[in-house]
A and B are shown apart, each in its own frame.
Chain A
């Protein structure tokens, strides 16, 4: 681990504090890499050299004066482009917001600014975070640094490819059904979805309000914990944000002993549908945990069978309403229709031109699911399934401290492979969706190389507000893997070269 840009944020932060490196130097290093490599990975939609360097200078002043406001002060970061920023156009991956400069900073971005973390730029995503591959971004897909022919996961593929390609040391993502965890799994990085309400959603361009949660995208568990500590906390601007603190995640992540940890293996997420090598790595991890003194229990979550179906009713329903505001009346790209430009026709032609196919598909699905006469059968039933899934989790957490499963059924697939098969695309999220439906925290950590010598991921879930337990278990499992392989899995990734 010789190169500075491959070091974890925790180490960079220490070097900043000890004066071995300045934030301006670090920020320049990553800006240079980003500018050099982004033409290949398309991780960033925008790189903010000027503002990032200003922020870095400010961070250096604070550090020099001994006033660093956070553990990560001076560490540069990339931010998913569905979080509003007043100094950078925010598109949510959509044409309809092509030139949209927000009037206010999202709470998470405000917290990054308060922590004096320079923002390198805004990362790519599937349009309005709808997708698992970034192929639905209006600005072209991001590439997986492990194999540029393959998807980096989605919707947060911009952040995952930026971090796993070392274009940024850490990044912010958002997770509605797996948009942080799935990209982490297929890029050999770490991605955490905190408990619903742990991080403010104010300024997160909403996909599905009851499922969305902002979280860290990093190369190790400690970095994720440190970043969650920066962005978490009650926000009076978000009614659904938790009032009580969940504690310092970094403290939990420094506890790596998993002896006596009760690890639940979810029966429904440990059998069919996984690539054989993905399943093999998962079984090996179970053995590794057993050897390290963890207690393995099988838990039964029968309602998980309906999770994807329920999710694809609740999400489109909420999204169809959340996306109604994009009508080109107050902001956004306005497209005039041919003929008489009445307000209805202007709204319709702007939405027709501004939204991509997946967004339209989900708006139509959601509009239908909420229609009178269908509400009970669709949205109503889906909410009942949601309750059943919450009950499954409650029962499971009575006998286990954490639950594990493979994060995704496969390693990274090739571009175009599932583009014309929405159902196959939706099934990527079969293991990650239940956590969003129940509001519980989940994290994906690297779980060894599988199919095509590509990374696979292990998902660790904990009960609501037990993010700390999740981070301890994740740090313990990460340590077992690093000890076994001799280095972090991300260090197996091929070096990116500029063309």
Chain B
């Protein structure tokens, strides 16, 4: 499918009000599934974490996972929601082969958490107060793989279903419509998702890995001519699973819809799919507000009735809220607003926080994560969290630098080895032979050799022009394949030249 006609983003914003609404699905990291005792594990052999309940076999009944309820309450509280003291599950009925019972057990008119709000800052410094309509519990569906026909259900030769994911606990967080973000809508959408991710990660209620679908976003976008009261027709771009994609998808939809409206066309109410590789959305299925899921209260489950004590207990265990944590860390790390915003925008707060807690200075931690590591991620077209480098690795590298065992260049090489999956820092250093040569004997021999080869430079040094030593340092470093401490080499050159 070809890209649609777009108009310039600024022109779109000038003509139209942007209204967005975000639905974020968070997969909880409980040990077991939402309604049965099967392991909640990503990446296992297909259809190994299954039982009569999550396979929807005749006669099987669900039982609510109490841990999942606690995690959901924690998310609700972190989003400043009210918690329902009595909430029923409901059945959302529709036929689809990844849905074992052909209904999804969800919550409908009685969500566990409702009416919250979240402050979301963007790069302009503006802070949006995003109103949360609800956060409700539900179960994930299985996973379909379509074989043949370009991997899509239409035209596939056949399709396989993996029910390992069926019944994995989800919390769906739904915002109220956000009206006032204008040109910042794309950035706000991604900042909001990032903040949800930070929150659930900090509380350890989700692995929060977007590339695995632990956190995924459905972005609703509609436009209306400036000054018009009535909302425009919306599209819902489904399952966007990276922060970059959220921003790009919202931006794209604004430009696409604006182009249609400007040409006098009408927006079709539908779901859309985001293609990160080619940066466009394509039409999914038509969606009307009258989609009839025949919701009714789940008769196989008793209502969830968390006690006041339980809710308060969870509240006291909540980690610091992200906004105040950010303020605290910026102060502790003594970073300027710009420096700190770099970190937040690159979504590296957690990594740097942990790195600092391992004894690395804030400046060094920031330098590694927003510098070399971000560069490699960018080159490889990946999210930083997808790279196999940990704060522990960074701390180890810093330790070796401080001990004089690595210089800056060697450290970067060690890091790329770690990211290439060659093992721990120590393993990479030893396998690649990266350690700085601090043996004066070997260095002295190299210095003598270089001085002998460049007698004119030697003369200059002897005549007091010590800056000429640079040329010799270069030769020595080359001779030592970079594995020398430049400071020590310089000392030796001066020493030998004058002897």
Interface residues in chain A, defined as those with a beta carbon under 8 Å from any beta carbon in chain B: 82-84, 90, 92, 97, 100, 102-104, 106, 201-206, 208-210, 236-240, 317-318, 320-321, 324-327, 329-331, 343-344, 347, 367, 370-372, 375, 379
Complex formed: what's the CA distance from A97 to B294 in Å? 26
**B95 touching A321, Cβ below 8 Å:** no
Q: Across the two chains, which residue of chain A brings its CB closest to B293?
A: A372
**A343 touching B97, Cβ below 8 Å:** yes
Interface centre among B57, B301, B302 (most CB of A within 10 A): B57
Taking the closest CB of chain B, its distance from the CB of A314, in whole angstroms, is 9
**Chain A residues closer than 8 Å to B61, beta-carbon distance:** 201-202, 237-239
**A202 touching B60, Cβ below 8 Å:** yes
Tally of A-B residue pairs with Cβ under 8 A?
102
**Chain A residues closer than 8 Å to B55, beta-carbon distance:** 330
**B102 touching A205, Cβ below 8 Å:** no
**B290 touching A372, Cβ below 8 Å:** yes
Contact mask B77-95 → A, CB, 8 Å, 1/0? 0000000000000010101
Complex formed: what's the CA distance from A245 to B101 in Å? 32
Identify whether the interface residues of B are mostly helix, strand, loop, or mixed: loop
**A371 touching B294, Cβ below 8 Å:** yes
Q: Across the two chains, which residue of chain B brings its CB closest to A197?
A: B302
Complex formed: what's the CA distance from A371 to B93 in Å? 11
CB of B56 closer than 8 Å to a CB of A:
yes
**B59 touching A203, Cβ below 8 Å:** yes
B58 contact from A100, A208, A320, Cβ within 8 A: A100
Given contacts A236-B63, A240-B300, A343-B97, contact A321 B58 (CB under 8 A): no
Identify whether the interface residues of A are mostly helix, strand, loop, or mixed: loop
Contact mask B96-123 → A, CB, 8 Å, 1/0? 0100111100000000000000000000
Complex formed: what's the CA distance from A40 to B294 in Å? 44
**Chain A residues closer than 8 Å to B100, beta-carbon distance:** 325, 330
CB of B129 closer than 8 Å to a CB of A:
no
Given contacts A209-B300, A239-B301, A330-B100, contact A367 B59 (CB under 8 A): no
**B95 touching A327, Cβ below 8 Å:** yes
Complex formed: what's the CA distance from A331 to B101 in Å? 12
**B59 touching A106, Cβ below 8 Å:** yes
Contact mask B282-305 → A, CB, 8 Å, 1/0? 000000001010111001111000
CB of B461 closer than 8 Å to a CB of A:
no
Given contacts A325-B100, A330-B100, A367-B294, contact A103 B59 (CB under 8 A): no
Taking the closest CB of chain A, its distance from the CB of B412, in whole angstroms, is 52
6 smallest A-B Cβ distances: which pairs? A324-B102, A370-B294, A209-B299, A210-B299, A203-B59, A205-B58
Taking the closest CB of chain B, its distance from the CB of A206, in whole angstroms, is 7
CB of B52 closer than 8 Å to a CB of A:
yes
B294 contact from A206, A321, A329, Cβ within 8 A: A321
Q: Across the two chains, which residue of chain A brings its CB closest to B56?
A: A325
Interface centre among A83, A205, A239, A375 (most CB of B within 10 A): A239
**Chain B residues closer than 8 Å to A208, beta-carbon distance:** 299
Taking the closest CB of chain B, its distance from the CB of A296, in whole angstroms, is 36
Taking the closest CB of chain A, its distance from the CB of B290, in whole angstroms, is 7
CB of B159 closer than 8 Å to a CB of A:
yes
Contact mask B378-392 → A, CB, 8 Å, 1/0? 000000000000000
Contact mask B30-70 → A, CB, 8 Å, 1/0? 00000000000000000000001001111111111000000
Residues of chain B at interface, number, CB under 8 A: 31
CB of B480 closer than 8 Å to a CB of A:
no
**Chain B residues closer than 8 Å to A318, beta-carbon distance:** 296, 299
Q: Across the two chains, which residue of chain A brings its CB closest to B53?
A: A237
17 A-B contacts, Cβ less than 8 Å apart? A84-B58, A97-B58, A202-B60, A203-B60, A206-B59, A208-B299, A236-B63, A239-B64, A239-B302, A318-B296, A318-B299, A320-B93, A321-B294, A326-B58, A330-B100, A343-B153, A375-B295
Q: Across the two chains, which residue of chain A brings its CB closest to B301?
A: A239
**Chain A residues closer than 8 Å to B95, beta-carbon distance:** 324, 327, 344, 347
CB of B161 closer than 8 Å to a CB of A:
yes
B57 contact from A210, A331, A367, Cβ within 8 A: A331
Given contacts A327-B95, A329-B161, A370-B294, contact A321 B103 (CB under 8 A): yes
**B93 touching A324, Cβ below 8 Å:** yes
**A239 touching B62, Cβ below 8 Å:** yes
**Chain A residues closer than 8 Å to B302, beta-carbon distance:** 239-240
Q: Which of B255-310 contact A (CB under 8 A)?
A: 290, 292, 294-296, 299-302
**Chain A residues closer than 8 Å to B91, beta-carbon distance:** 321
**Chain B residues closer than 8 Å to A239, beta-carbon distance:** 61-64, 300-302
**A324 touching B103, Cβ below 8 Å:** yes
**A325 touching B296, Cβ below 8 Å:** no
A324 contact from B63, B101, B290, Cβ within 8 A: B101
Given contacts A83-B59, A330-B100, contact A321 B52 (CB under 8 A): no
Taking the closest CB of chain A, its distance from the CB of B72, in whole angstroms, is 17
**A379 touching B57, Cβ below 8 Å:** no
**Chain B residues closer than 8 Å to A203, beta-carbon distance:** 59-60
**B63 touching A325, Cβ below 8 Å:** no
Taking the closest CB of chain A, its distance from the CB of B195, in whole angstroms, is 34
Complex formed: what's the CA distance from A83 to B295 in Å? 27
A100-B58, A202-B60, A330-B57 are known; give 13 further A-B pairs, CB within 8 A.
A205-B58, A236-B63, A237-B63, A239-B300, A239-B301, A240-B301, A318-B296, A318-B299, A321-B103, A324-B102, A325-B100, A371-B294, A372-B292
Interface centre among B91, B294, B300 (most CB of A within 10 A): B294
**Chain B residues closer than 8 Å to A379, beta-carbon distance:** 296
**A104 touching B300, Cβ below 8 Å:** no
**A325 touching B101, Cβ below 8 Å:** yes
**Chain A residues closer than 8 Å to B59, beta-carbon distance:** 82-84, 102, 106, 201-206
Complex formed: what's the CA distance from A371 to B296 in Å? 10
Q: Across the two chains, which residue of chain B brings its CB closest to A208?
A: B299
**Chain B residues closer than 8 Å to A367, beta-carbon distance:** 294
Q: Across the two chains, which residue of chain A brings its CB closest to B289?
A: A372
Complex formed: what's the CA distance from A209 to B61 in Å? 10
Taking the closest CB of chain B, its distance from the CB of A452, in whole angstroms, is 38
Complex formed: what's the CA distance from A327 to B94 in Å? 12
Taking the closest CB of chain A, its distance from the CB of B301, in whole angstroms, is 5
**B52 touching A103, Cβ below 8 Å:** yes
Taking the closest CB of chain B, its distance from the CB of A374, in whole angstroms, is 10
**Chain B residues closer than 8 Å to A321, beta-carbon distance:** 91, 93, 103, 294, 296
Taking the closest CB of chain A, its distance from the CB of B143, in whole angstroms, is 14
Contact mask B447-460 → A, CB, 8 Å, 1/0? 00000000000000
Q: Across the two chains, which residue of chain B brings its CB closest to A104?
A: B52
Complex formed: what's the CA distance from A317 to B295 in Å? 10
**Chain A residues closer than 8 Å to B93, beta-carbon distance:** 320-321, 324, 370
**Chain A residues closer than 8 Å to B296, beta-carbon distance:** 317-318, 321, 370, 375, 379
Q: Across the two chains, which residue of chain A brings its CB closest to B298?
A: A209
**Chain A residues closer than 8 Å to B294, beta-carbon distance:** 320-321, 367, 370-372, 375
Q: Across the two chains, which residue of chain A brings its CB closest to B154?
A: A342
Taking the closest CB of chain A, its distance from the CB of B405, in whole angstroms, is 58
Interface centre among A97, A236, A324, A367 (most CB of B within 10 A): A324
**Chain A residues closer than 8 Å to B159, beta-carbon distance:** 343
Contact mask B196-215 → A, CB, 8 Å, 1/0? 00000000000000000000
Q: Across the two chains, which residue of chain A brings its CB closest to B101?
A: A325
Taking the closest CB of chain B, its distance from the CB of A3, in whole angstroms, is 36
Interface centre among A97, A343, A367 (most CB of B within 10 A): A343
**B300 touching A325, Cβ below 8 Å:** no
Q: Across the two chains, which residue of chain A brings its CB closest to B35?
A: A239
A325 contact from B102, B161, B295, Cβ within 8 A: B102
Complex formed: what's the CA distance from A268 to B457 in Å? 118
Complex formed: what's the CA distance from A279 to B19 in Å? 69
Interface centre among B64, B153, B290, B299 (most CB of A within 10 A): B299
**Chain B residues closer than 8 Å to A329, beta-carbon distance:** 97, 161
Q: Which of B407-465 contact A (CB under 8 A)?
A: none
**Chain A residues closer than 8 Å to B56, beta-carbon distance:** 325, 330
**Chain A residues closer than 8 Å to B62, beta-carbon distance:** 239
Complex formed: what's the CA distance from A201 to B290 in Å? 34
**Chain B residues closer than 8 Å to A90, beta-carbon distance:** 58
